[in-house]
Amino acid sequence: MAKKTLLSWSSGKDSAWTLYHLQQDEDIELVGLVTTVNETHQRVAMHAVRVELLKQQAQAANLPLHIIYIPHPCSNELYNKAMNDFFDSIEGKGITHMAFGDLYLEDIRQYRVDNLKLTELEPLFPLWLKPTEELAHAMLEGGLKTRITCVDPKQLPASFCGREFNQQFLEDLPDGVDPCGENGEFHSFAYAGPMFQQEIRITSGEVVERDGFVFADLMSESSSE
């Protein structure tokens, strides 16, 4: 019997590549994407992606989207309550697994595992411990197209924000910066690739600094016309 699986969806490249891996697995039945959204700003937490674009991703993946709204700022207690309320809401629907796009940070993996212990869900980590340099090149070779939406200027120059995630981007990264940004150096928005049925057409807005991070505002071409 196929594993009925939800995917924790950040809107970025790692989530998109995880989706692609799950789509190739005959033992997996994908039943939806789950995303936390900043209720105040109506954007994906940390990635700062507009909800409109998030919904277009779900449509392109042909999957239901479950949005979990969290306050800003959000304490761990409030975050955990929001997640637990969601888990309560899907009880009895036959969902057995939840997948994550984490790569190698053991503390984050353990946090996910601990959060699911009181639920009916088992965690899956399809990309776990794949070498990130190889993974970044596999994404590009596989046709994934991604734009950088957030940069931590303490780890990476702000000029990288808004850039396309491509070979030149990887070559320009300073020494010590993970090619997939696994240490929080940067976050992204996936707008095309083999996991989507159609490309999401985007346009770049202004780049702003807020709360110690630099964000590039992406918009849907249809809404900017």
Q: Mean pLDDT over residues 72-97, rounded?
A: 92
pLDDT at residue 225 is higher than 50: no
Contact 188, 146 (CB under 8 A): yes
pLDDT tier, 37 (very low <50, low <70, confident <90, very high otherwise): very high
Joined together, the tokens standing for residue 96 give 């057995």
pLDDT at 223: 59
User: pLDDT digits over 141-195, tens only?
Assistant: 999 999 999 999 999 999 999 999 999 999 999 999 999 999 999 999 999 999 9
CA distance 168 to 51: 29
pLDDT at residue 3 is higher than 90: yes
pLDDT at 7: 98
pLDDT at 224: 47
Cα 8–chain centre separation: 7
CA distance 220 to 225: 9
Q: What CATH number should be reported for the domain holding residue 128?
A: 3.40.50.620
Question: What is the total count of domains within the chain?
Answer: 1
User: pLDDT digits over 42-72, tens only?
Assistant: 999 888 899 999 999 999 999 999 999 999 8
Give the domain range for residue 215. 3-224
135-155 per-residue burial string, b: 16 or more CB within 10 A, e: under 16:
bbeebbeeebbbbbbbbbeee
Angle (CA) 140 141 147, round 5°: 15
pLDDT at 72: 84
CA distance 52 to 169: 26
pLDDT at residue 209 is higher than 90: yes
pLDDT at residue 98 is higher than 90: yes
